[in-house]
């Protein structure tokens, strides 16, 4: 499966980390870890930006993370204008920062800094794959 199956609008058909979409298809959110320095990256990278090495391995982003920051989007960019309003968030999963949407089932009033979230794979209408952050 290629990267063209990721997200509501995919801007790239091929990437060195297209396995990311295969993991989503199996219900897993994964990042990459540099086998040299041990840093974990999300979104996944094919090469380490710190050492720079190309020996990366896939690691699961699992368990509960904590909400660090969020914003409510009322005017979406091209391709997302009909999907507003939605909430974008940054969550910390044991030092790995994950940026993504919070499920629309969680109201803005229920969304609180520090709350526990987990990542969930989502299949969009049309078969596209993505992930969202849901209450843990």
Give me the numbers of helices (H) and strands (E) for the chain, helices first please: 1, 8
CA dihedral sign, ordered 136, 2, 43, 88 = negative
Prediction pTM value: 0.84
pLDDT tens readout for residues 20-49:
989 999 999 999 999 999 999 999 988 998
Q: 63-123+130-136 architecture in CATH? A: Beta Barrel (2.40)
H helices of 17-126, where? 19-25
Quote the tokens at residue 34.
């540099």
CA distance 96 to 74: 27
pLDDT tens readout for residues 41-91:
999 988 998 887 689 999 999 999 999 999 999 998 887 888 899 999 999
- In the chain, domain spans: 1-60, 63-123+130-136
């Amino acid at each position: 499966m290629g990267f063209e199956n990721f997200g509501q609008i995919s801007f790239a058909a091929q990437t060195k980390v297209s396995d990311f979409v295969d993991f989503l298809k199996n219900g897993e959110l994964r990042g990459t870890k540099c086998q040299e320095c041990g840093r974990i990256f999300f979104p996944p990278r094919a090469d380490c930006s710190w050492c720079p090495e190309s020996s990366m391995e896939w690691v699961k982003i699992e368990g509960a993370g904590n909400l660090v920051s969020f914003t409510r989007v009322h005017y979406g960019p091209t391709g997302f204008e009909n999907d507003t309003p939605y909430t974008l968030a940054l969550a910390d999963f044991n030092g790995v920062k994950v940026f993504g949407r919070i499920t629309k089932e969680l109201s803005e009033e229920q969304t609180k800094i520090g709350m526990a979230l987990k990542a969930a794979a989502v299949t969009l209408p049309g078969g596209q794959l993505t992930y969202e952050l849901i209450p843990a």
